[in-house]
Amino acid sequence: MPARKAEATALGDVLAVARRRLAEGAIDDPGLEARMIVEHFSATERRDAITSPDRLVPAGQVALIEAALSRRLAGEPTHRIFGWRDFYGLRLKLSPDTLEPRPDTEALVDAVLPLLREIVVRAGHCRILDLGTGTGAIALAIAAEIPAAVVTATDISAGALATAAGSAADNGLSERVTFVQSDWFSAIHGKFHAIVSNPPYIPTSAIAGLQAAVRLYDPHLALDGGADGLEAYRTIAEGAAERLEHGGVVAVEIGDGQRRDVNRIFAEAGYEMASVHRDLAGTERALIFRT
């Protein structure tokens, strides 16, 4: 007897099954994640489920949804399954070589943009160095918000740079963002008005205790900040001065509770902390330094 041909399924039924599977798998917000997965793979919107729950989802799309649900239930983050994540109004590609950019990092962009705009008013342009760019989130957000900005974005990972360069092309920013493979400052020449970075800041011993979505899917190279989580800050503080224009700024993201230690590192290198900025959860997340 021939196998029964796969059939299309009503959108409302697909959503109900997805929600039930994720709930049974103890996913934190099964309704939201079910909707995200179903909408992504069925090319529908929320209003479609409300106004047209009987709309048929083709069998091929149902199969993609089922495969995505299985991956999510195995622990893979939803946006990793999609291959992209939105950040500061931009859609950025994800790959195994990049961190998944998170809203926390938008606090760093918010903090540095007014300073960069002041530099543009003063100098007519702004040269920025983004160290450890990963997905290119910070570099591309700055370039998108400030048309007079020219950004050099570095990473030690060739895979991360390729991913970020793809996002730059997708967002029409390739002409003003240059990607350079570099171990921090090693391949960088010239001076910049601002240096920005979201460096690795997790102590090595703490990585094993991170949530599975981070521990298993974010590259450890982009997480591991050394024994005390502060190695990257020491490197940045030591090397930034000779790469900064007079009156330039350094802006870094920090982990929870790291403000005092990071401030000490930069103070010992001759910097003054100009401001502290919190993320939406109220955690101190970004520091701005001046020489």
From first to last of its 291 residues, the chain has per-residue pLDDT tens of 344 456 899 999 999 999 999 999 999 999 999 999 999 999 999 999 999 999 999 999 999 999 999 999 999 999 999 999 999 999 999 999 999 999 999 999 999 999 999 999 999 999 999 999 999 999 999 999 999 999 999 999 999 999 999 999 999 999 999 999 999 999 999 999 999 999 999 999 999 999 988 999 999 999 999 999 999 999 999 999 999 999 999 999 999 999 999 999 999 999 999 999 999 999 999 999 998
Residues contacting residue 131 through CB under 8 Å, at least 6 positions apart: 154, 184, 185, 195, 196, 197, 199, 236
pLDDT of 3:
42
DSSP state of 55: P
Q: pTM for the complete prediction?
A: 0.93
Q: Which CATH number fits domain 85-290: 3.40.50.300, 3.30.2130.10, 3.20.20.70, 3.40.50.150?
A: 3.40.50.150
Q: Looking at residue 291, what is its pLDDT?
A: 85
Domain boundaries of the chain, sorted by first residue: 9-74, 85-290
Predicted pLDDT at 147: 97
In DSSP notation, 175-239 reads TTEEEEE-STTTT--S-EEEEEE----B-GGGGGGS-HHHHTTS-GGGTB--TTS-HHHHHHHHH
